[in-house]
């Protein structure tokens, strides 16, 4: 029998309404889902209103979203309290490992979102620019450092011109909508990400990511 604590400190037994999922799933992990969903909803509203173009990319630190204390606390709790074995390859790249918390599995039938944990091993330069045609992203750098690469070209007509990049490190927040050409690299040390996406697309679903006809990886930039 599940026992909870009332505001006055009295122990109360839950006689109806108990969920089969252990109560730990309703803590930091659920809060991170909600924070991610709220930020992404705001960005998508700006796209629909015409204030932002599609695709769009926003970048900054947790403080830029007025979420510094909240996100920092949640990131620490998730990393220490929620064990998630990571598996490789991820998106056909051996040096990247990942796994997925499914909103549907954790919180019920009404959820269509997911949170991935991704580790880019030091030396990762081979994940090609790609797009997610069917979902939008809210990403926080959990630990380490690396580089995020993107292009404003359409993936259908990608020529390799005008690729931009920015360094990323712990606490950085990246929000981008579907169809943005992008990739990450981790040349010098491991890079660990929490990547929320909505709607959920499983890792083995062929709709998970799409490559343009012209293949470009961060190793191409290093070579030049």
pLDDT of 80: 83
Global pTM reads 0.84
Instruction: Please state the domain extents for the chain.
Output: 24-223
Most confident of 7-21, 40-54, 80-94: 40-54
**For residue 167, which phi and psi values (nearest 5 degrees)?**
-70, 150
Strand, coil or helix: 159 = coil
Partners of 61 in the β-ladder: 172
pLDDT of 69: 65
CA distances, 88 to each of 37, 206, 208, 222, 224 (Å): 27, 16, 15, 24, 29
pLDDT of 64: 62
pLDDT of 51 over the 50 cut: yes
Average pLDDT over residues 154-158: 94
Strand, coil or helix: 214 = coil
Give the CATH number of domain 24-223: 2.60.120.10
Both structure tokens of 144: 């380490």
CA pair distance 153, 182, nearest whole angstrom: 10
- How would residue 2 be classed by pLDDT, with cut points 50, 70 and 90? very low
Better-scored residue on pLDDT, 90 or 150 = 150
Q: What is the pLDDT of residues 106-153, one digit of tens each?
A: 888 788 999 999 999 999 999 999 999 999 999 999 999 999 999 999
Q: Which helix (H) or strand (E) holds 96?
A: strand 96-102
Collect all residues with Cβ–Cβ distance below 8 Å to 102 and sequence separation of at least 6: 111, 114, 200, 202
Q: What is the pLDDT of residues 164-191, one digit of tens each?
A: 999 999 989 999 999 999 999 999 999 9
Least confident residue range of 20-34, 129-143, 164-178, 200-214 = 20-34
CB-based contact 64:172 (threshold 8 Å): no
């Amino acid at each position: 029998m599940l026992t909870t604590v009332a505001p006055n400190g009295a122990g109360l037994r839950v006689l109806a309404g108990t969920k089969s999922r252990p109560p730990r799933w309703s803590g930091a992990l659920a809060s991170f889902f909600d924070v991610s969903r709220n930020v992404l909803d705001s960005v998508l509203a700006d796209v629909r209103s015409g204030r932002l173009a599609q695709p769009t990319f926003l970048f900054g630190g947790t403080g830029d979203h007025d979420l510094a204390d909240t996100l920092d606390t949640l990131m620490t709790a998730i990393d220490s309290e929620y064990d998630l074995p990571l598996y490789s390859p991820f998106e056909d790249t051996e040096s990247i490992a990942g796994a997925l918390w499914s909103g549907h599995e954790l919180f019920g039938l009404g959820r269509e979102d997911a949170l991935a944990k991704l580790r880019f091993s030091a030396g990762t330069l081979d994940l090609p620019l790609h797009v997610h045609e069917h979902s939008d992203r809210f990403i926080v750098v959990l630990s380490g450092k690396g580089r995020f690469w993107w292009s404003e070209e359409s993936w259908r007509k990608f020529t390799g011109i005008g690729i931009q990049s920015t360094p990323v490190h712990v606490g950085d927040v990246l929000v981008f909508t579907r169809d943005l050409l992008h990739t990450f690299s981790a040349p010098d040390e491991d890079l660990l990400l929490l990547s929320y996406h909505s709607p959920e697309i499983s890792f083995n679903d062929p709709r998970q990511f799409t490559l343009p006809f012209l293949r470009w990886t961060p190793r191409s930039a290093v070579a030049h």
